[in-house]
Amino acid sequence: MEFMYQYQKETAQQLKYFLKEQGISKGLLAKIKFQGGLILVNDKRENVLYSLRPNDRVTIVVPDEKEHETVLLDETPIAIVYEDEHLLIVNKPAAVASIPAQYHPNGTMANRVKHYYKMKNYKDQVIHVVTRLDRDTTGLMLFAKHGFAHAQLDRQLRAKQVEKRYQALVAGEMNQLKEHGMIDLPIARDLSSLLKRKVAEDGQAAQTEYWLLKRNENMALVDIKLHTGRTHQIRVHFSGIGCPLLGDDLYGGWMTAGIERQALHCYKLSFNHPFSGERLTFTLALPEDMTQVAQNI
């Protein structure tokens, strides 16, 4: 894949520093150098020590990424929300993991996306997961279609420029819920379980902001924004204030409300396009199981 830039500074700069400013890492430079890529200045091949001058035209040719043979194919169709040459956004259903694991090598979103890439005969076949969701959480999931896009989006994640918003159904101690609140409780591993986390004084700092959308005497629908990204953070935090998610048996959620998985949905995803810079925002309505419960609140 080819990327072009115009050098617009008035003073000279070494090419390697200019490329770093464009988000091209040392790892990507090595891939370009040793795996068949090119670095051109004004259509002439140059090394990274070249001194750029005003109006120089820089072209980067990134080599195609061959598939990882260990990632199996799953022919289950994917629900595409958005796609261009750099990005793929899908609507992840419940009961599907994001990526393969040792004892579950197939049936994940990564396996399904790989099959989709194969069908489309895309040149880049490596699966780059940018935003994961828990197995039973539904909603928007972002993939980068090549390594350069993944690196650019990772920079945004670290700078907290990627916003994910969730909606959840919770029940329990309704008096603990405010119209708007911030749950600020540290989270640590629960040593009694391989999966479970818990609120603990010696845990990592974690903040979850929420807004109450609707409620009755038994349950509520809340809008959620994460300020940190701890494992199971939303589930642990709402359980920690006595209002676990419906269907979340791992954290004490009600299992009698008509939903049998944690009632959590990533409904909004907002980020800057890694190459155009345009701010993109995508939204999804609640899935059917959550809608049926929410309409009775």
* Catalytic residue IDs: 134
Which three-class secondary structure state does DSSP give residue 250? helix
Q: Name the H helices within the chain.
A: 15-21, 26-34, 109-120, 147-158, 233-240, 288-294
Whole-angstrom Cα distance, residue 92 to residue 89? Answer: 9
Whole-angstrom Cα distance, residue 197 to residue 204? Answer: 11
Token pair belonging to 211? 């807004």
Q: What angle do CA 284, 243, 257 make, to 5 degrees?
A: 65
Query: Are the C-beta atoms of residues 250 and 280 closer than 8 Å to each other?
Result: no
Whole-angstrom Cα distance, residue 64 to residue 2? Answer: 10
Query: Are the C-beta atoms of residues 261 and 247 closer than 8 Å to each other?
Result: yes
First vs last Cα of the chain: how many Å apart?
Answer: 50
